[in-house]
Structure 1
Amino acid sequence: MEMVKRSKKQDEINVNDPFMTLQNDMNVEILMKLPPGSIARLHFASKHLSSIILGKEFTELYKTRSSTQPRHLVSVHGGHPYVWMHRFHSISQEYPSSNHDKVSCSVDPYGPCLATYDFTPPVRGLIFGRHCSNMVVGNPGTGQFVFLPRVETTHQCILCVFGYDPVNDVYKVLCMTVVTKHTPCVAMSEVHQVITVGAKEKWRRVECKYPYHHYPGYQEICRDGVIYYLASYKGKKSLMRFDLSSEDFNVTKLPEDQKLQRFGEMVNHTGKITVATTLLGCIDPVDLWVLEDVNKEVWSKTVVVVPSLPERFGMSYEFVFKGILGTGEMIFAPRTTPSPSPNPFFFLCYNPEGGKFRKIEIDELVDYPVFIQVFVDHVESYMVLSRVC
């Protein structure tokens, strides 16, 4: 029988590991009470806890708990001149005043000091950001971000969407190289490339048989391994679908509604694919178009009347509709904030049934915030990312 020698240093680490003396149930109970950043650090600090953290049983337990306790996620970029930083605020949707975590991170330590990453909605705990040709994927709960390889393109204008493939248990980024024609608001998608987030992965081309025009700046939604985003197809605003497993494209027609075709934007709606139309600068109802059957292209419409937000909360604010929580509350966040920015920063939860607003306030933002994004239904994760490039 071959004997395996143990190093003296390893023996010392195991002896000095206080978690070795506790039962596994107690260790799991301790870990479940910690924020994602602390769990990620313990993964490296304790070999015994690392075996639990990386185990399938604890992973599923934490994932299940997190999915039943979704959170608001606020991305803030700002600081003082020459000292800029990025911070993520994770806030309980159920108890926003008592459960609030903040994580500071250096997204681009070697980039321009005023670099502003535009982030897409978080997917299963991770988030994707892009600034010009720089792309990152990160965990806002731990503050860890990794750079993606540069996409190969001769054009400056690129658009990206981010999602999770449950079939293969991987995250992917779809990048669309576009050629702007006629108007800067509509861009012709020319080349489609995909990368799987992970070590030693590279961009690869995928074919799309639908010639469409992408709308820059519009939000996408990832549901059940499919990324949904709006585009112009055959001269009409349509819903594009990209299956992350098969890497196939499909298109779904939107209803022939003039307001929907002109102002429709995708919003987060707790598992539903919803396109909303709203003009919150004045007293105007919010139209919610929900996709009931993707194959038959069946949509349902609900109209919600929302009181004038600028009149209630200040004419200097312009609000944008962000989505609907599982409780039915509608989320409205300032599109722009007055200068100087208010402290505390706030966004709104509106209950259509009771006609009441809740103001969610966030203290201690970075000084001079220059770019703020609000996301809903964020599911926390302690996932540690591998170096990509």
Structure 2
Amino acid sequence: MERQEQEQEANKKISDDLRSTYLIPHDAIEEILKASTVETLARFRCVSTQYASMIRSREFIKLYLIKSSTRPKSLIISFKEFEPLGLGKQFFFSASQPLNQGESSSSSSSATYHLRSRHLPHTTYAASVHGLICHGGPSMIEIYNPSTRKSITLPKIDYESFPCYSYLGYDPIYGDYKVLCMVKAGDFRVLTVGKDKSWRKIEDFPPHFLHSPYSPDICHNGVLYYIVHLNTDKKIDAIMSFDVTLEKFDHIKLPELPNSFSRQRLTSYEGRLAFFSSGTYGYSDHSIRLWVLEDAVKHEWSKHLYVPPPFDGITFDDCIAFGFTDGGEFVFAPLLVYSDQKPFYVVYFDIKKNAVRRVVIEGICTELAEDTLYITQSIFSGQIDNPMFL
């Protein structure tokens, strides 16, 4: 018994000596963690309170997001049930993106089902901000992280009427996520996720009216953008901006638009804010009209027109565009989806090479209810891993 205790003590001393001799520097540990997957971070978090504290720190998450943005990104796809009152269910999936081979081609990917929620008339088109999804109404707004499969519920807003418009934004300076919410005309609230216990009212903002119940929006370089009217004549005439760090509003005037301008969405192209309109469902106009912001101070835009080339098996009459990938490809997908149809697919259109490729995404229709019609609501192509809520 005494000998066994001596051996255990000797082994402990050797182990302690090894740890002191080969102690990994803090900077090296941080680099290892930044290069790890979210699943690996979850395991590292259980090693010690020191690791858990580091992984959950705001500064580490900022650095991790920078590293994560250099890796291949995935898709976040959302569908809503076609329901006359607009109150059906909403479904979220993720799928990997096969690399662009530089020529027209076909490939496949598998979908991962994440979330089903109640669809509300005020739902926006933005599917994800730095890997996080914001959804829900004033009584229960949630933020869901597909990387960790965890959600947090935000404090309840003391206003129960509809519509209620919520926009998720990211502050790149302090690494904060904020939700901007318009609970009624002239009443804007903001909440810093994880810090604020209640919503703060914004007193200083220019008068504006949201474009529609599905107000196009995007968070780009720390600024939230959404399309608005500056007066009551219902003309689409400006893009409102909200600086997430400073919590200040401003607006950018839109160029003169054709009467047929429809299905407008916001996107980013080569690091600049842009908006576009694609052909209307059921018509032969497959063109994409793209406006790229050249000067925000002077409200100057450049206009571009693109027409995707024909590709075997793709009917662009049935598709709409959802924005650019980081690689400069437009993402198309069928507008209407039946649960019993052939596999869902997305189409990538490289506007510089004038090349089209198709990616079949298996596993989506099997998760949707039978004999039900769905609308493809949004496709976000810049999904990255995020360790929030670990």
Which residue is 1:349 aligned to? 348
Q: Among residues 210, 229, 244, which one is paired with 1:213 in the alignment? A: 210
Q: Deviations over 1:57-93 (max 9, x none)?
A: 8656533331122513224579xxxxx9966424146
CA contact (8 A) 1:72 1:374 kept: no
Q: Among residues 113, 134, 140, which one is paired with 1:134 in the alignment? A: 140
- Mapped partners of 1:359, 1:305: distance in 2: 16
Which residue is 2:96 aligned to? 91
Supply the AA of the counterpart residue of 1:348: V
Q: Please state whether the residue corresponding to 2:186 is helix, strand or coil.
A: strand
Supply the AA of the counterpart residue of 1:225: G
CA contact (8 A) 1:73 1:376 kept: yes
Task: Say yes or no: does 1:374 pair with 2:375.
Answer: no
Which residue is 2:170 aligned to? 164
Which residue is 1:358 aligned to? 357
- Mapped partners of 1:77, 1:283: distance in 2: 24
Supply the AA of the counterpart residue of 1:203: W
Instruction: Give the 3 Å change call, closer, same or farther, for CA 205–326 of structure 1 in structure 2.
Output: same
- Mapped partners of 1:260, 1:229: distance in 2: 20
Supply the AA of the counterpart residue of 1:192: F
CA contact (8 A) 2:222 2:243 kept: yes
Instruction: Give the 3 Å change call, closer, same or farther, for CA 104–291 of structure 1 in structure 2.
Output: same
Q: Deviations over 1:301-357 (max 9, x none)?
A: 111112468x94258x732211122322111122221341433x2111112344332
- Mapped partners of 1:45, 1:260: distance in 2: 59
Q: How many corresponding residue pairs? A: 347
Q: Among residues 193, 202, 214, which one is paired with 2:189 in the alignment? A: 193
Q: Deviations over 1:238-283 (max 9, x none)?
A: 1111122222221211111225755532134353211102215323
Instruction: Give the 3 Å change call, closer, same or farther, for CA 228–261 of structure 1 in structure 2.
Output: same
Which residue is 1:231 aligned to? 228
1:216 Cα offset (Å): 1.9
Q: Which has the higher contact order (CA 8 A, sep 6+)?
A: 2
Between 136-145 and 37-46, report the one with greater CA deviation: 37-46
Supply the AA of the counterpart residue of 2:218: I
- Mapped partners of 2:34, 2:276: distance in 1: 37
- Mapped partners of 2:54, 2:199: distance in 1: 34
- Mapped partners of 1:352, 1:305: distance in 2: 9
1:220 Cα offset (Å): 0.9
Instruction: Give the 3 Å change call, closer, same or farther, for CA 44–160 of structure 1 in structure 2.
Output: same
- Following superposition of structure 1 onto structure 2, how do residues 150-299 of structure 1 map, counting pairs within 5 Å? 150-178=156-184, 189-199=185-195, 201-207=197-203, 208-234=205-231, 235=233, 236-237=235-236, 238-259=238-259, 262-281=262-281, 282-299=284-301
Q: Deviations over 1:119-168 (max 9, x none)?
A: 73322232211257431112111111111122122522111111012233
Supply the AA of the counterpart residue of 1:205: K
Between 248-257 and 50-59, report the one with greater CA deviation: 50-59
CA contact (8 A) 2:61 2:388 kept: no
- Mapped partners of 2:58, 2:186: distance in 1: 41
Instruction: Give the 3 Å change call, closer, same or farther, for CA 37–365 of structure 1 in structure 2.
Output: farther
Supply the AA of the counterpart residue of 1:144: K
- Mapped partners of 1:361, 1:131: distance in 2: 33
Which residue is 2:8 aligned to? none
- Give unpaired runs (5+ residues) of structure 2: 1-11, 81-88
Between 263-272 and 169-178, report the one with greater CA deviation: 263-272
Q: Please state whether the residue corresponding to 1:347 is helix, strand or coil.
A: strand
Q: Deviations over 1:166-222 (max 9, x none)?
A: 2332111111123xxxxxxxxxx3311111111552112113232323322133111
CA contact (8 A) 1:89 1:103 kept: yes
- Give unpaired runs (5+ residues) of structure 1: 1-11, 79-83, 109-114, 179-188
Supply the AA of the counterpart residue of 1:301: K
